[in-house]
């Protein structure tokens, strides 16, 4: 293999990228745009749940309960209603996701030490949001109930009473419990997988469609030199995309990067080599730009988005689907990025994922070399 030949092919591919706005946009603009759109639009946080209240008691006790909801950052009071039809209209029109109904005898029950039932009506059309919102409401009402119990005990004993249990939760690695902190690293992996495969899926197919493959075959350039020459420009562009994505995550989305930056880029380089080679294999097999781009999208986007653990926990999937995720390379890169970004761990913890990612890269590079035949078919 002669480096000058590799460089000649790489320079030709670089020139094509620079001259073709579509290739340049797909290589740089689209990954950043996707990261920007998904980064802001995709969130699992449930804050400011719209709430309406029907306070039939209108007492100091009911106002104290309502103040607990108003003081929580998870709820946003949209107004008061006076009957069930108004509750129904508020939820049907999406003015409110939840309605709190305080009964007329609420204060009397509280003062007599009896249980005071409070009705909570939730819009369950979005089951995930409804479940989370009900969990928030449970916490607010439990806090109120504990305060009432402690106050009653204090009045009875005429002394200060402490709560019997003082739970002090502490979240590691994502103290603010913000979903963007684990969505952005996974999103970088998914976008890199899709874009890398799409970029190289067009290279060989384009040569066949434009008739320039015959010219390349007539030159002394070997198959290995041709493959490396075509991969190198896109590898450089891919690493630039990784750099820009990391900078956006750090300064735009404020996602903490606690781990080794060199390890992150090393793993990204291995992942890119495999993803680019996968696109090359698709391009070699199909020999059609349209078919290659469609096949690359099907083989990368859906599996990476759904089965990599980026959005949905793999442990919650059915067992056969969990087995399928082991052949999704993005699964290992997502795990690596989350470990490096959030936990700050290294290869002592991520060695298995790093090894499997390296195996994927070596397998794809080898397959691209074997599939390419420097002859007219």
Residue 27 in tokens: 């290589």
The whole-number pLDDT of residue 375 equals 45
Q: Which of 265, 273, 241 has its CA nearest to residue 359?
A: 273
- What lies within 8 Å, CB to CB, of 321 at 6+ separation is 307
Label residue 115 left, alpha or beta by phi (over 0 means left) and psi (-120 to 50 means alpha). beta
Q: Which of 194, 342, 204 has its CA nearest to residue 271?
A: 194
Q: Which of 43, 49, 44 has its CA nearest to residue 94?
A: 49
Q: Which of 22, 19, 4, 6 has its CA nearest to residue 235?
A: 6
pTM recorded for the entire structure: 0.79
Multiple choice CATH, 49-157, 3.40.50.720, 3.40.1710.10, 3.30.465.10, 3.20.20.370:
3.40.1710.10
What's phi and psi for 89, nearest 5 deg?
A: -65, -40
Residues forming CATH 3.40.1710.10 domain(s) in the chain: 49-157
Q: Which of 51, 63, 106, 54 has its CA nearest to residue 83?
A: 54
For residues 303 and 307, what is the distance between their CA atoms, to the nearest angstrom?
5
Model pLDDT for residues 101-135, shown as the tens digit of each residue: 999 999 888 888 788 889 999 998 888 888 888 98
In the block, which residue shows the tokens 């003015």? 95
> What single DSSP character describes residue 8?
H
Q: Which of 153, 242, 164 has its CA nearest to residue 196?
A: 242
Label residue 81 left, alpha or beta by phi (over 0 means left) and psi (-120 to 50 means alpha). beta
Label residue 79 left, alpha or beta by phi (over 0 means left) and psi (-120 to 50 means alpha). left
> Following DSSP, what letter does each residue of 273-311 receive, concatenated?
HHHHHHHHHHHHHH--HHHHHHHHHHHHHHHHHHHSSSS
Residue 84 in tokens: 């069930």
Q: Please give the order of strands across the beta sheet that includes 49-55.
A: 75-80, 49-55, 98-102, 119-122
The whole-number pLDDT of residue 376 equals 42
CB 268 within 8 A of CB 354: no
User: What's the average pLDDT block by block, 10 residues per block, for the chain (377 residues)?
Assistant: 82 81 77 87 81 93 92 91 92 92 90 85 87 90 84 66 59 78 89 87 79 75 83 91 92 90 95 92 85 88 88 87 92 93 91 94 88 58
For residues 116 and 110, what is the distance between their CA atoms, to the nearest angstrom?
6
Residue 62 in tokens: 């009911």
Beta bridge partners of 98: 51, 122
Q: Which of 304, 39, 270, 287 has its CA nearest to residue 195?
A: 304
């Amino acid at each position: 293999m002669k480096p000058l030949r590799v460089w000649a092919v790489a320079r030709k591919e670089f020139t094509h990228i620079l001259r073709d706005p579509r290739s340049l946009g797909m290589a740089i603009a689209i990954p950043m745009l996707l990261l920007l759109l998904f980064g802001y639009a995709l969130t699992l946080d449930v804050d400011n749940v719209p709430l309406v209240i029907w306070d039939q008691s209108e007492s100091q006790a009911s106002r104290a309960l309502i103040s607990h909801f108003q003081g929580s950052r998870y709820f946003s009071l949209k107004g008061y209603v006076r009957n069930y039809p108004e509750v129904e209209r508020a939820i049907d029109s999406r003015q409110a996701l939840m309605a709190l109904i305080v009964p007329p005898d609420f204060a009397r029950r509280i003062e007599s030490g009896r249980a005071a039932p409070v009705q909570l009506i939730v819009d369950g059309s979005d089951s995930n949001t409804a479940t989370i919102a009900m969990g928030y409401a449970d916490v607010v009402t439990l806090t109120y109930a504990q305060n009432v119990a402690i106050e009653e005990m204090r009045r009875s004993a005429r002394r200060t009473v402490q709560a019997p249990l003082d739970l002090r939760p502490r979240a590691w690695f994502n103290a603010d419990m913000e979903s963007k902190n684990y969505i952005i690293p996974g999103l970088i992996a998914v976008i890199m997988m899709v874009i890398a495969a799409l970029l190289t899926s067009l290279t060989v197919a384009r040569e066949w469609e434009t008739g320039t493959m015959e010219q390349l075959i007539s030159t002394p350039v070997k198959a290995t030199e041709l493959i490396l020459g075509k991969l190198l420009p896109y590898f450089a562009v891919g690493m630039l995309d990784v750099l820009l994505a990391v900078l956006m995550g750090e300064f735009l989305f404020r996602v903490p990067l606690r781990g080794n930056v060199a390890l992150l880029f090393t793993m990204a380089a291995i992942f890119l080599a495999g993803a680019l080679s996968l696109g090359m294999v698709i391009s070699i097999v199909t020999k059609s730009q349209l078919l290659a781009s469609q096949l690359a999208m099907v083989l990368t986007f859906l599996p990476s988005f759904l089965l990599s653990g980026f959005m949905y926990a793999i442990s919650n999937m059915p067992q056969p689907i969990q087995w399928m995720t082991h052949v999704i390379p993005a699964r290992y890169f997502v795990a690596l990025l989350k470990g490096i970004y959030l936990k700050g761990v290294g290869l002592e913890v991520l060695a298995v994922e790093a090894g499997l990612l390296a195996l994927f890269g070596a397998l794809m590079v080898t397959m691209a070399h074997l599939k390419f035949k420097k002859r007219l078919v």
